[in-house]
Structure 1
Amino acid sequence: MAPVGGVLFDIDDTLVDLHQAMKDAMIAASRPLVDGFGPSDWDAFAALYMADADNYYDRFVAGEFTFAQQRGLRARAVFAHFGIAGFDDRAEQAWIADFEKAQPGFINAYPDVVPILDALDAHGIPYGAVSNNVHAYQRAKLDMAGLQRITVLVGIDTVNAAKPKPEAFLEGCRQLGTRPGETLYVGDNYLLDGIGSVQAGLQGIWLNRTGAVAPSHAEDGRVRRIAGLAELAALALSTGL
């Protein structure tokens, strides 16, 4: 592994525990519309929303829907799956508003984020983030999570490109002032983050917090794997960070 000159991170479910934040916000927004749900029901409700079987979020990234539209469509699919009546246009708009109001209170960085940023700062290694959401929304999310120190941020509207397109990763390198080959990219999505970054010439690191299995059709030995960001510190330090 080449010496590390800089590190770029994905944001959602890499730096910020978005899954938990979305689950908590969904429960807050949905509870007035749902009777008799227990913890396991809410787990299933959130899992179905996050699975996004119809790929509404990816279709938002591709420009087919607005951000609010994809959120409403995903909610409609979940309410329909559970046979919950009354989720009409008015209820959908109210649900989106309640969700957006609730979510900021649940946004938190993972416990291993600040220590790795401290280590990078201590060694003078620049870092930033490249995300498949718009810059302003992700800037606000990082700030809510207490990560104002991450100043380099590339969104899908920064260069009109989303991961895994190389332009997104290369813009992050440009803003860091590092060459792709000396830049680590760390993210939780094996295909978008791991494969996408190595194909753009970066050193790809798959952050697999959940013990997921990589898609067998897309295995690439260039993508390194870690279970937490503490392992990233050890890996980077061993290569001269």
Structure 2
Amino acid sequence: MSFPGLASERPIRAVLFDIDDTLVDLRSAMEIAVRQVSTAFVPELSEEAWEQVHWEFRVDPTGLYQAFLNGELSFVEQRIARARRAFAAVGGALPEEHVATWNNAYELEAKRRWAAYPDVAAALDFLEARRIPYGAVSNNVVDYQRNKLDLSGLQRISVLVGTDTVGVPKPDPAIFHEGARQLGFEPRETLYVGDNLLIDAIGASEAGLPAVWLNREGVADDRWSGAQISGLDRLAGLLEDVPSL
């Protein structure tokens, strides 16, 4: 059985999820943490200016996180570089002598704020009721993301593939294929769900997995003509006709 918008000639027998901003509301955690620990390093800001700080840090327009994935920066180095760029955008600065203190404070605050989206539990309950195995594939290392899932109340996600599992990040096909392999199914039988259009939806599709773009904000983008949902509460409706395993 195939589904509208899903490039699959076989039933969907397993599901893989992205983690950040798909299962875990990283955006909210990042924005709260940045604001909580950064007031000493920026001038007094309007709400509009804080939005600029959050955008610079979250969106990362110069690709500093990609530099981490490429092995050019450490995880902490890319975070510091993103903070410095965000602060500079509003006339602030993060002096070298405060880097370690800021990073430690940010890490602690962000971890306190990690939480699953409200629609995650019902989606996982549905998959378990239908005996559809599931897991996660992430563009970060396994230990860090395991901790994130656990602190977010998602301990039941046992299959987790990270960049250190196969040595490559999304959208390299190998990382998607490893997730499918660990679930015990072929890529074409394994649905991938993620919020990032390029590395999740398009990346998984090009790797041979049926893919769904989790488009929480309803952004229009003609680069994707496949299946998309506005929330994980819509996943059950998409898969309701899949035979139980």
Structure 1-normalised TM-score?
0.94
Map Cα deviations across residues 152-179 of structure 1 (whole Å, 9 max, x no partner).
0000000001110010000001110011
Decide whether the 8 Å contact of 1:208 with 1:227 is kept in 2: yes
- Code of the residue aligned with 2:194 in structure 1: it is G
Partner of 2:74: 66
**2-structure distance, mates of 1:207, 1:220:** 12
Partners of 1:53 and 1:220 lie apart in 2 by 22
Instruction: Kindly state the Cα deviation for residue 10 of structure 1 after the two structures are TM-superposed.
Output: 0.2
Query: How many residues in Structure 1 have an aligned counterpart in Structure 2?
Result: 236
Shift of 1:90: 1.4
| Structure 1: distance between partners of 2:115 and 2:27 | 10
Given the alignment, which residue of 97, 103, 109 partners 2:110? 103
Tell me the CA shift for residue 32 of structure 1. Answer: 3.0
Report the more deviating stretch, 140-149 or 190-199. Answer: 190-199
Deviation at residue 43 of structure 1 after TM alignment: 2.2
- TM-score (structure 2 length as normaliser): 0.92
| Aligned-residue RMSD, C-alpha | 1.3
C-alpha separation between the residues in 2 aligned to 1:238 and 1:228?
Answer: 19
- Identical-pair percentage: 47
Q: Which runs of 5+ in 1 are unaligned?
A: none
Aligned match of 2:178: 171
Q: Structure 1 residue 32 and structure 2 residue 35: aligned?
A: no
Q: CA deviation at 1:40?
A: 3.3
C-alpha separation in 2, matches of 1:45 and 1:133: 23
Provide the secondary structure at the position in 1 that maps to 2:242.
coil
1:134 is aligned to 141
1:35 to partner: Cα distance: 4.4
- Residue 210 of structure 2 is aligned to residue 207 of structure 1: no
Kindly report structure 1 stretches of 4+ aligned residues shifted beyond 3 Å: none
8 Å Cα contact 1:72/1:93 also seen in 2: no
* 1:5 aligned to which of 10, 13, 17: 13
Partner of 2:7: none
SS in 2 for 1:27: helix
Give the aligned partner of residue 195 of structure 2.
188
Q: Which residue is equivalent to 1:233? A: 236
